[in-house]
Amino acid sequence: MFCPVCGEQTKILQTRLLADGSKKRRRECLDCEVRFTSVEKLSSIPKPKAVRGVKRESEEVISSPPDLSKLWR
């Protein structure tokens, strides 16, 4: 992130994780040494691949159920 005052690079002094998953960062400019706070928020949370694989397997079971009518004849 760049300095809002002079546009130079900034360094992170402190990072705090908030309750909603966003990160609050204390930053300091490397050039003019102004200090400010930034908040990073996730706009979308990516799903883990393992969970997606399990869901796909269960969908296949529902789309092709076993033919139970044959068992009762």
Per rule CB under 5 A, count of chain residues that contact Zn ion: 7
Check binding of 54 to Zn ion (CB under 5 A). Answer: no
Q: Which stretch binds Zn ion (CB under 5 A): 11-19, 20-28, 29-37, 42-50?
A: 29-37
DSSP 48: P
Q: Which stretch binds Zn ion (CB under 5 A): 2-10, 11-19, 47-55, 57-65?
A: 2-10
Structure tokens at 42: 């996730």
Phi-psi region of 9 (alpha: psi -120 to 50; beta: other; left: phi over 0): beta
Nearest to residue 4, comparing CAs of 39, 35, 26?
35
Check binding of 3 to Zn ion (CB under 5 A). Answer: yes
Residues forming contacts to Zn ion in the complex (CB under 5 A) are 3, 5-6, 8, 29, 31-32
